[in-house]
């Protein structure tokens, strides 16, 4: 034999190699078995934890909407806020931090005056809309016993047409030879057409109040519909008349709907620029028209962004003050 090895020695070495091979093979199979059994266990534990956690399940339902809000709302606001600190040289943006746009806003009183006038017009629109919407919502909630859905659908009929068509309709009605002037002349109340009906803040207020009426009626109706009718009966049994029952019971309980309606009308109308452009004229211009011109003909995007940011901060402060005031009022009434 080579090397002087005996046949028995060779067989012993072969037997030892086979034993080592089997031991390694068993170890590998054991590791694979443990891995296969541990993976489903981890997935099962993760699934159980997900089903047991209400927060995780709620976040999974909220996450698509949250992502849409982040990319559709938060990101544009962040871009607008960043743009307000840049400068512009004709068509090129100078991406250096600067307060110049905000300094221009405060140095030119015209911007503050127009912002104040826009807030004033929006306040009148909100007041007129809520005062007109509350009786309608009250009528549907307390006087209509059947077919309430039909009445709610009828409220939304104006929204079946374009917003621009509704604005143009009011422009025709309030015009020099429009429906209002023609009707008043035909019944002999006026001899010459009224010129103050169009191209002024009054025309803007009337048009916006009609355009946002449904947004005020629906939240007020929901609040009135949720009022427990037994409370009204109890107030009447205690000797309150209909007016005092409304003041002490119905109105305080419907305040959440009134507040929601006020915010739904006030916030969008401050920045409206279509209606003032069509029926406002020079005296009815609002801050939205200034912002639109900065992003349009003036081609000064950073200044337009700065004005937009100032408008948002102003409206946010006013809304917070309004909510705080209504909260204090409700606590005193309660």
> Tens of pLDDT along 115-134?
999 999 999 999 999 999 99
> Tens of pLDDT along 237-288?
888 898 999 988 999 899 999 999 999 999 999 999 999 999 998 888 999 9
Give CA angle at 270 (268, 275), nearest 5°.
85
> Tens of pLDDT along 186-236?
898 888 888 888 899 999 999 999 999 989 999 999 999 999 989 988 988
| End-to-end CA, the chain | 111
CA dist 145 and 36 (Å) reads 65
Query: 3-class SS at 326?
Result: helix
Mean pLDDT of the chain: 84
CA dist 97 and 34 (Å) reads 59
Is 198 within 8 Å of 270 (Cβ atoms)? Answer: no
CA dist 24 and 30 (Å) reads 10
Query: 3-class SS at 137?
Result: helix
Q: Is 56's pLDDT higher than 50?
A: yes
User: H/E/C letters for each residue in 10-61?
Assistant: HHHHHHHHHHHHHHHHHHHHHHHHHHHHHHHHHHHHHHHHHHHCHHHHHHHH
Task: Please name each of the domains of the chain with its CATH number.
Answer: 2-88 (no CATH), 100-333 (1.10.3720.10)
């Amino acid at each position: 034999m080579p090397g002087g090895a005996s046949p028995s020695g060779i067989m012993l070495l072969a037997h030892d190699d086979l034993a080592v091979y089997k031991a390694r093979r068993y170890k590998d199979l054991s590791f694979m078995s443990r891995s296969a059994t541990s993976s489903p266990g981890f997935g099962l534990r993760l699934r159980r934890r997900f089903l047991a956690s209400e927060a995780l399940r709620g976040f999974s339902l909220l996450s698509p909407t949250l992502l849409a809000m982040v990319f559709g709302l938060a990101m544009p606001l962040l871009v607008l806020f960043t743009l307000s600190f840049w400068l512009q040289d004709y068509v090129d943006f100078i991406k250096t931090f600067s307060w110049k746009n905000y300094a221009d806003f405060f140095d030119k009183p015209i911007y503050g005056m127009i912002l104040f006038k826009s807030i004033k017009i929006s306040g009148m629109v909100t007041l007129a809309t809520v005062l007109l919407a509350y009786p309608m919502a009250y009528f549907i909630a307390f006087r209509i016993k059947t077919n309430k859905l039909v009445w709610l659908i009828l409220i939304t009929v104006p929204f079946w047409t374009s917003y621009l068509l509704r604005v143009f309709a009011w422009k025709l009605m309030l015009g020099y030879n429009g429906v209002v002037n023609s009707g008043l002349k035909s019944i002999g109340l006026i001899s010459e057409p009224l010129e103050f009906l169009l191209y002024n803040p009054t025309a803007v207020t009337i048009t916006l109040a009609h355009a946002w009426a449904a947004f005020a009626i629906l939240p007020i109706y929901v609040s009135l519909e949720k009022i427990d009718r037994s409370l009204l009966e109890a107030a009447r049994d205690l000797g309150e008349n209909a007016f005092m029952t409304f003041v002490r019971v119905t109105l305080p309980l419907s305040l959440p709907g009134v507040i929601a309606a006020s915010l739904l009308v006030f916030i969008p109308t401050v920045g409206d620029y279509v209606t003032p452009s069509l029926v406002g004229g020079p005296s009815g211009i609002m801050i939205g028209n200034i912002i639109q011109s900065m992003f349009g003909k003036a081609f000064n995007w950073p200044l337009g962004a700065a004005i937009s940011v100032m408008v948002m901060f102003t409206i946010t402060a006013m809304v917070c003050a309004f909510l705080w005031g209504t909260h204090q009022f409700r606590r005193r009434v309660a």
